[in-house]
Amino acid sequence: MKATWDIFCSVVDNYGDIGVTWRLARQLVAEHGLAVRLWVDDLNAFTPMCPGADATATQQWQQGVEVRQWPAAWLPVEPADVVIGAFACQLPSPYVEAMRACATPPLWLNLEYLSAEDWVEGCHGLPSPQPNGLRKVFFFPGFTEKTGGLLREGSLLARRDVFLQGARRAFLQGLGVNPKAGALLVSLFAYENPQLGNWLDALATSEQPCHLVVPQGRVVAGLSQWLGEPTLPVGSLRKRGALTVQVLPFVSQDDYDRLLWSCDFNAVRGEDSFVRAQWAGQPMLWHIYIQDENAHWEKLEAFLGHYRRGLSEAADAALLGLWRAWNMDLDMGQAWRAARQHWPELQQHARLWAGQQAAQPDLATALVHFCRNSL
- Mind telling me the catalytic residues? 17, 271
Amino acid identity, residue 246? Q
> Smallest Cα–Cα separation from 360: which of 369, 349, 373, 347?
369
Distance CA 190, CA 88 (A): 24
**Would you mind telling me the total number of residues written for the chain in this entry?**
375
Distance CA 368, CA 24 (A): 11
Give the distance between the most distant pair of CA atoms in the chain: 69
Taking the CB of residue 39, how many other CB atoms lie within 10 A of it?
26
Residue 223 near residue 192, CB atoms below 8 Å: no
Cα end-to-end distance, the chain, whole Å: 15
Angle at 122 between CA 119 and CA 126, to 5 degrees: 125
